[in-house]
Chains A and B, each alone.
Chain A
Amino acid sequence: MKKAKLLFSALFVLLGVTLFAQNVQVSGVVRESAGDVVTGAAVQLKGSTTVYAMTDALGNYRISVPSDGTLVVSCLGFKTAEIPVNGRAVINVDLEPDSEMLEETIVVAYGTVRREANTGAVSSLKNDGLAEAPVASVDKLLAGKMAGVQVTGNSGQPGAATQIRIRGISSINAGNDPLWVIDGIPVETGDQSYFTNTSNAMSAINPNDIESITVLKDAAAASIYGSRAANGVVLVTTKSGRSGKANFNARVKFGASMLANDNHFRVMTGEELLNWQRTAYANAGANPDEKAPMSLLDNGTHDWLKDFTRMGALQEYEINASAGTDRGRFYSSLAYQKNDGITYGTDFQKFTARVNSDYRLTNTIEIGTRVNLAYTMSNDTPMQSLYYNNPFFAGLTLLPWLPLYDEDGEFNLKLPSNSNTNPRYTAKYDDQWEKQYRVHGTAYLQWEPVRNLIFKTNNSVETTFGEGRRYWAPDPGDSEGTLQTSTTQYVTLTTSNTVTYNFALSNHNFNVLAGQEAMRRNYLYYYMYGNVDANIPYPSTMVSEQDQVGYSGNARTLLSFFGQFDYNYDNRYYLKASLREDGSSLFGSENQWGLFWAVAGSWNITNENFMRGTSGWLNLLKLRASYGVNGNNSIAPYRAYGVYATSAYNGVNGTLPSTPDNASLSWEKNYTWNVGLDAGFFDNRLNVQIDAYSRKTTDMLLNKQVPQTSGFSSNFMNIGSLSNKGFEIQINGDIIRNADWTWNAGFNLSYNKSKLLDLGDTDEMTYSDSRIKHKVGKQFYTFYLKDYYGVNPSNGEALWRHHEFDEDGNITSTTLTNSYNDASYIYAGSPEPKFTGGFNTNLSWKGLSLSAFFEFKTGNKVLIVENRYVNSDGQQMSMNQTARSLNYWQKPGDTGVFPKPVANNATNSNTFASTRWMQDGSFLRIKDITLSYNLPTNFVKQIGLNAVKVYASALNIYTFHDVDWWDPERGVDGMGTGVYPMTKSIVGGIEVSF
């Protein structure tokens, strides 16, 4: 509170500063040395903070100044000029370009910074670094692009969510997703749908509207976001209009997609399966002619997966316009995208519209808005798990001699082995969709009463209205279907108010920021479930005694005060400190306020005198170091409150305590060290950025066992810790740069290793899937599986390892056993990759350009639990098997093969939790190859256009991997059971600007 008062009293003091003297009118034109006019240049009376003017679109200015004054003319990208008025009425000014100022700036928390002055670990991308990829959301574009930013797909479905982990995983019960901040305002992210398999709030943002993306990785960069910064912060800046005449861009894009399957993964043909089944029956002592007669093939066979999948189609249309004058700038876009998935019944559509405007009301006041509207509609069919309805799973398991259609030409439902469901029937008659309507609206006002002192207030509303439907049509002959509908609503209000001042005292440069923010988020949810008339399949026909209604909702608030101090001496020594105090409604009354801070320093060695001699080849050499703490508050609301819940007994609903009071509930904290080095060589044609970090999470929120004498058995408490350590390297180079040819290449690599240090009462917890443990001393995710040995060469049985362990869990002896029950569980490996990264290269000659981008991950394990069914060694005789099962034990001496199939065997050789199904998930993916051509300018001008670009891209075109599945990506936990696999696509497009 005190801070807010201080802020406003400072404001009043400054209001008093106004001076005037005897004046003359001066006007003129500001030009670059080359002759073009400069718009938006500031013309200022030297020594005054209030007397200044801006040049208009023709470079003209007009200002009233004392006749003996001096004009100071400045503009970003030019050297500042000082001109004495000497009584003149017309003064034309030529500005010289400033090469130092043209240096790249990057968006950081609450501002921008020259790359050279940056102290924290950040990665940034300009929009031109984002590909022409036909993605629904920008998060997908980050995969492999930035060191330390791991983007994992767990579904190839159009519009799917992604999992982004910045420098590893920090939490079990609080979230692991980074904070996304768009144009200064934190926004909703993730999957907010109810019935569809996946959705992605970020798809509301048109990737082409984005100007730049910065990822804040270390405490120095992110801590100013306080209690929400622990998993890193992604800053997105959308495009503003540019001064100058109106410019239109139109884009059209078409594409086709298909299942990515680069390892020839397939199931058996009818003939292969029947022979295999006959062998399995024979091995079980049954008569194959009785159990699996050759006549099964008489009516023909088919590949179910082919019947369940199709060529996906993509279309995208977009038009945007931008314009600007000396006072205002404007950017607007309208886009439509439709993506038909590779299975029937799966598609995604969206409309987005954006208006960004900025207007200078007076010489000191600027206002602006950022408004984005989005409508997304997503259709799919149930495939969250191994449902019979899942076209991918049913496509693998349905027996090839069963027909797709019945006698009437309808999709065959007489499929007892698939619970009489047919995914094509489901796709045709059932519904499963989510429609979302999103509005992001932000308005800011910025006031610069004196130069370099800027007050800014940024206020935003984000609302999401979602509507979901899941409908099961009746089976033929029935009249009642089953309907579920949902309505969701999210409203987030944010106000962000800052004051910044930067000034210099000789070689001492200061930049000070103080700010305050408040956020309130409300959530509501209604749900209806019941049987409905198949002819009017809406809630109005639900039978009232049977239908169910659900309602839920919550609210959370956050109040923050923060400050940041930047100092540099002579552009050589940089110091930065930040502080934020967050108060959150999520936490207990004793710990409602948390203090987060960071300090960072850097030393720009190249600006030292002793480095003069190397300036010919070394443009930048900078050391950075930082340390700080930030927090993770991603928990459900009300966890701090002791709560009563109803308990039915003896015909009445009484109440009983259900969770204990938790007044000390607080943030998870992350303490991060970072050291880094930035270097630029050969006129900055070779840039290197190296970072190493150590991140320790403490006060992890876990359910701690408590004495039951309290009435409870556990309480959600801040115990536990884990660490993530790693390093990151990013190298970019312009290899060739001349008039006709450019060739550049970039490479990034990151290494991360997590280690669980403490779990409070216990040294092991089970993840939501029991095949993964969180075990103290091991990596965060560690597979816990029965140790499979292989086949017994003498008889074709499955063999397991049985281990004896000492007190520390080390194996002391190992024997082989054919008994599943005697097989030992081991900590088998982790789905967390050791190394992730990517490399890209772009070669262009005149208007023609060829670019390629590769992504890789190594050192991670994946567990293909579906193998329980599709490589079952005979346990599943009513399911098709993969072709890999053909390589089974046939004669004594066979090794490295699958066990001999025995029909209906119960040996558990195919169990879910087996090292047999764990594989190395490393891959190298050719993520994107794009060939584009910019038509020659003089030709384009002749037909009245500014530019025309045509291009063709191939996405995910090939992936090198060793996993026995379509694609190696299985989500951060390496399992991703039953999900929609990755797809590859070919896209062509044209972009016209006029």
Chain B
Amino acid sequence: MKKIAYIALFAAALFVSSCKDFLKEEPFLTQSNALALIDYNALDKAVAGAYSPLADGTWYGANYVLTSEMRADNATIPTNTSFQSGRYQPPFYMTYSADATVGLWGYGYYVISAVNNVLEAIEENGMDQYTKGDVTEQDVKNLQAECYFLRALSMFDMARIYAYSPAKAAAVNFSDCIPIILKTDKTAKEQPARNSVSEVYARIIEDLTTAESLMAADYTRAGITDKKAAATLPAIQALLSRVYLYNQNWQGAADYATKVINNSAFKLWTAKEYPSVWSAATGGSEVIFEVYGNKSNDYDEYWEGPSHMTNPIGYADCAASKALTDLFEPGDVRGSKGVRGADDGAVMFCTDKDEASGGELWTMKYYGKGLGDATSTPDVNNVIVLRLSEMYLNRAEALVNGASVSGATALGDLNTIRANRGVAPLNAAGAAAVALERRLELNFEGHYWFDLARTASGAVTYSDPRRPANLDATSKFWALPIPKREYDVNENLSHNPGF
């Protein structure tokens, strides 16, 4: 009987000592949140992954760019019905509602939560946890800078879609923007309200200036295929130039554009190069930041990607409007026209191979890397977000509006671009000339709609009789609705006027 007592005592002791951890079973084939951010390598992977959703179809993977072009009248749905697939109807007919709006919201906040996790981990665990072995404090700061850049870009892109620009917000007296999320809500229970436009822009600028101060000048992310598809110091500065421009801080826009223009790493494409640069596997000399396209990306839109959407033998729904293609002066390489298949890499607009569409033209900015044929598989494209020409245009516009940069003039900047596009120099450069040059240079890159939206007077006159009423300067469409599903789960979200 004693034996039993001993056995029982032994078992009890064993049991009490082992039971504390008995109920802890962590996943070992996926990484728990804690493990995913435990050291520098893990952090580095988490930052690399945070870029991934930029290639989603609601964002630079197609829609964010192409729907903007469609709303702004640069793009149109072909009149010949055999060149339509039924896509891109809402931006063409302007039938946006909370049920059918731009879907960026989820992916924008997904990136924000991914980078917030990284920033929070560094803050909580301290720099020391990550600077082990060869890893320096600067290595960690570079990651932080990438996170701040991605958060700023995500907030900026969402603010542009779902809220009025600072100028229009004042004009329509509605300044609700997007909720600023600086810490991931791990319980997913919080229902954040919208911050004001000025708060959001102030935060974007703060994130970008923080990123600028943290990132080493020569830093580029290691291991990636396309070095231009990750944040660098010039990318941070270029985005800051644009954000200042949107915020009408003219001197800031000019100063930051100048920093990039003076960076010898970037060179304007020449008129000769210009039509062929769009099929490059990785970003060319003008590219400051772009989104990498490839079927091996987890986020790959495949048939819905910009290449297939602007290909006459693809879905073809996004053709170029006559209003756009008629704007170019003769000899301007940016307006050069040809036939798809015969003139690939030589012109910027093409009609279909058989010319069956009645003269419809499609942009060649997404004609593809040659990794698909549009019949068995679609082709893929990089989508440029920031490039050098924009910096000249940003500065020219800032200078017109009163900024000053020694040695730089608006006319000089415009003519620098024009000299590289095969068109004669201008004699004078006012606000209208800068705006026109901007449209000619950056069409189909997702700028024109937002360029109209960011000025108090911006309006759209549709050139196609099929399209609905023109948009005046205070139209409700300058701030598109937030998706309905978000209202269903967040009581604190206000509605945009008219939706």
B51: Cβ under 8 A from any A Cβ: yes
Chain B residues whose C-beta falls within 8 Å of the C-beta of A707 in the assembled complex:
185, 188, 190-192, 486, 489-490
Tell which of B26, B32, B110, B188 has the most Cβ of chain A within 10 Å.
Answer: B188
Contact with A along B8-26 (1 / 0, CB 8 A): 1100100110010011111
Evaluate contact between B30 and A637: CB separation under 8 angstroms. no
CA distance A584 to B23 in the complex (A): 6
Evaluate contact between A592 and B23: CB separation under 8 angstroms. yes
Tell which of B8, B191, B223, B485 has the most Cβ of chain A within 10 Å.
Answer: B8
Q: Which residue of A lies closest to B292 (CB)?
A: A650
Evaluate contact between A8 and B12: CB separation under 8 angstroms. yes
- Given the known interface contacts A651-B225, A655-B31, the answer about A709 and B179 at a Cβ–Cβ threshold of 8 Å is yes
Q: Interface segment, B112-120, B166-174, B305-313, B370-378? A: B112-120
CA distance A450 to B106 in the complex (A): 68
The minimal Cβ–Cβ distance linking A985 to chain B, given in whole angstroms, is 44
Chain A residues whose C-beta falls within 8 Å of the C-beta of B114 in the assembled complex:
656-657, 711
- Given the known interface contacts A15-B5, A647-B52, A650-B225, the answer about A706 and B489 at a Cβ–Cβ threshold of 8 Å is yes
Chain B residues whose C-beta falls within 8 Å of the C-beta of A554 in the assembled complex:
25, 27, 29
Chain A residues whose C-beta falls within 8 Å of the C-beta of B292 in the assembled complex:
649-651
Cβ-defined partner of B9 (8 Å) among A8, A551, A649, A663 = A8
Size range of the chain B interface in the assembly: 35 or more
Chain B residues whose C-beta falls within 8 Å of the C-beta of A649 in the assembled complex:
48-49, 51-52, 55, 292, 297-299
- Given the known interface contacts A650-B226, A650-B230, A661-B186, the answer about A557 and B112 at a Cβ–Cβ threshold of 8 Å is no
Evaluate contact between B4 and A715: CB separation under 8 angstroms. no
Tell which of B33, B224, B226, B488 has the most Cβ of chain A within 10 Å.
Answer: B33
Chain B residues whose C-beta falls within 8 Å of the C-beta of A559 in the assembled complex:
19, 22-23
Chain B residues whose C-beta falls within 8 Å of the C-beta of A938 in the assembled complex:
none
A25: Cβ under 8 A from any B Cβ: no
A474: Cβ under 8 A from any B Cβ: no
Q: Which residue of B lies closest to A15 (CB)?
A: B5
Cβ-defined partner of B109 (8 Å) among A583, A584, A708 = A708
B87: Cβ under 8 A from any A Cβ: no
Chain A residues whose C-beta falls within 8 Å of the C-beta of B15 in the assembled complex:
4, 518
CA distance A62 to B112 in the complex (A): 83
B419: Cβ under 8 A from any A Cβ: no
Q: Interface segment, A638-646, A803-811, A915-923? A: A638-646
Evaluate contact between A710 and B22: CB separation under 8 angstroms. no
Chain A residues whose C-beta falls within 8 Å of the C-beta of B324 in the assembled complex:
none
Evaluate contact between A557 and B190: CB separation under 8 angstroms. no
Q: Which residue of B lies closest to A18 (CB)?
A: B1
Q: Which residue of B lies closest to A556 (CB)?
A: B25
Evaluate contact between A638 and B48: CB separation under 8 angstroms. no
Evaluate contact between A715 and B188: CB separation under 8 angstroms. yes
Chain B residues whose C-beta falls within 8 Å of the C-beta of A657 in the assembled complex:
33, 36, 110, 113-114, 117
Query: How many chain A residues touch the partner (CB < 8 A)?
Result: 60
Evaluate contact between B1 and A449: CB separation under 8 angstroms. yes
Evaluate contact between B226 and A706: CB separation under 8 angstroms. no
Contact with B along A615-656 (1 / 0, CB 8 A): 000000000000000000000011001111111111111111
A814: Cβ under 8 A from any B Cβ: no
Evaluate contact between A650 and B224: CB separation under 8 angstroms. yes
The minimal Cβ–Cβ distance linking B412 to chain A, given in whole angstroms, is 36
Number of cross-chain contacts by CB at 8 Å: 206
Evaluate contact between B45 and A655: CB separation under 8 angstroms. yes
- Given the known interface contacts A655-B49, A710-B113, the answer about A638 and B26 at a Cβ–Cβ threshold of 8 Å is yes
B131: Cβ under 8 A from any A Cβ: no
B187: Cβ under 8 A from any A Cβ: yes
CA distance A451 to B305 in the complex (A): 80
- Given the known interface contacts A642-B32, A644-B33, the answer about A652 and B48 at a Cβ–Cβ threshold of 8 Å is yes
Contact with A along B211-226 (1 / 0, CB 8 A): 0000000000001111
B47: Cβ under 8 A from any A Cβ: yes
CA distance A658 to B116 in the complex (A): 15
B276: Cβ under 8 A from any A Cβ: no
The minimal Cβ–Cβ distance linking A584 to chain B, given in whole angstroms, is 7
Q: Which residue of A lies closest to B45 (CB)?
A: A655
Chain B residues whose C-beta falls within 8 Å of the C-beta of A664 in the assembled complex:
187
Tell which of A364, A553, A654, A664 has the most Cβ of chain B within 10 Å.
Answer: A654
CA distance A166 to B490 in the complex (A): 39
A682: Cβ under 8 A from any B Cβ: no
The minimal Cβ–Cβ distance linking B411 to chain A, given in whole angstroms, is 39
Evaluate contact between B490 and A8: CB separation under 8 angstroms. no
Evaluate contact between A710 and B31: CB separation under 8 angstroms. no
Chain B residues whose C-beta falls within 8 Å of the C-beta of A245 in the assembled complex:
none
The minimal Cβ–Cβ distance linking B155 to chain A, given in whole angstroms, is 12
Q: Which residue of A lies closest to B3 (CB)?
A: A365
Q: Among residues 1 to 47 in chain A, which have CB atoms less than 8 Å away from a CB atom of chain B?
A: 1, 4-5, 8, 11-12, 15
The minimal Cβ–Cβ distance linking A373 to chain B, given in whole angstroms, is 28
CA distance A404 to B140 in the complex (A): 70
Evaluate contact between A648 and B52: CB separation under 8 angstroms. yes
CA distance A583 to B49 in the complex (A): 35
CA distance A8 to B109 in the complex (A): 55
CA distance A649 to B189 in the complex (A): 30
Chain A residues whose C-beta falls within 8 Å of the C-beta of B383 in the assembled complex:
none
B229: Cβ under 8 A from any A Cβ: yes
CA distance A4 to B488 in the complex (A): 48
Evaluate contact between B24 and A585: CB separation under 8 angstroms. yes
CA distance A810 to B185 in the complex (A): 41
Contact with A along B250-270 (1 / 0, CB 8 A): 000000000000000000000
Tell which of B25, B189, B294 has the most Cβ of chain A within 10 Å.
Answer: B25
Cβ-defined partner of B51 (8 Å) among A1, A584, A641, A654 = A654
Evaluate contact between A1 and B52: CB separation under 8 angstroms. no
A705: Cβ under 8 A from any B Cβ: yes
Chain A residues whose C-beta falls within 8 Å of the C-beta of B490 in the assembled complex:
707, 709
A835: Cβ under 8 A from any B Cβ: no
Cβ-defined partner of A637 (8 Å) among B27, B31, B184 = B27
CA distance A837 to B106 in the complex (A): 51
CA distance A710 to B33 in the complex (A): 14
Chain A residues whose C-beta falls within 8 Å of the C-beta of B488 in the assembled complex:
705, 761
The minimal Cβ–Cβ distance linking A701 to chain B, given in whole angstroms, is 15
Chain A residues whose C-beta falls within 8 Å of the C-beta of B289 in the assembled complex:
none
B427: Cβ under 8 A from any A Cβ: no
Evaluate contact between B55 and A711: CB separation under 8 angstroms. no
Chain A residues whose C-beta falls within 8 Å of the C-beta of B8 in the assembled complex:
8, 11
Q: Which residue of B lies closest to A639 (CB)?
A: B27
Q: Which residue of B lies closest to A518 (CB)?
A: B22
CA distance A653 to B31 in the complex (A): 14
Q: Among residues 56 to 72 in chain B, which have CB atoms less than 8 Å away from a CB atom of chain A?
A: none
The minimal Cβ–Cβ distance linking B106 to chain A, given in whole angstroms, is 4
Cβ-defined partner of B49 (8 Å) among A552, A654, A713 = A654
CA distance A664 to B188 in the complex (A): 11
Cβ-defined partner of A661 (8 Å) among B35, B109, B187 = B187
Evaluate contact between A650 and B5: CB separation under 8 angstroms. no
B400: Cβ under 8 A from any A Cβ: no
A859: Cβ under 8 A from any B Cβ: no
The minimal Cβ–Cβ distance linking B148 to chain A, given in whole angstroms, is 17
Chain B residues whose C-beta falls within 8 Å of the C-beta of A8 in the assembled complex:
8-9, 12
Evaluate contact between A641 and B28: CB separation under 8 angstroms. no
CA distance A365 to B3 in the complex (A): 12
Cβ-defined partner of B113 (8 Å) among A556, A645, A711 = A711
B50: Cβ under 8 A from any A Cβ: yes
Using CB atoms and an 8 Å cutoff, list the residues of chain B in contact with chain A: 1, 4-5, 8-9, 12, 15-16, 19, 22-33, 35-36, 42, 45-53, 55, 105-106, 109-110, 112-114, 116-117, 179, 181, 184-192, 223-226, 229-230, 292, 294, 296-299, 485-486, 488-490
* Additional A-B contacts beyond A557-B22, A638-B26, A707-B191 (9; CB < 8 A): A642-B32, A643-B30, A651-B225, A651-B292, A654-B50, A657-B114, A708-B105, A708-B486, A761-B489
Q: 9 smallest A-B Cβ distances: which pairs?
A: A711-B113, A654-B49, A654-B48, A651-B225, A644-B36, A585-B25, A706-B188, A710-B188, A649-B52
7 pairs across A/B with beta carbons < 8 Å? A641-B26, A643-B30, A650-B294, A655-B36, A655-B48, A661-B186, A712-B188
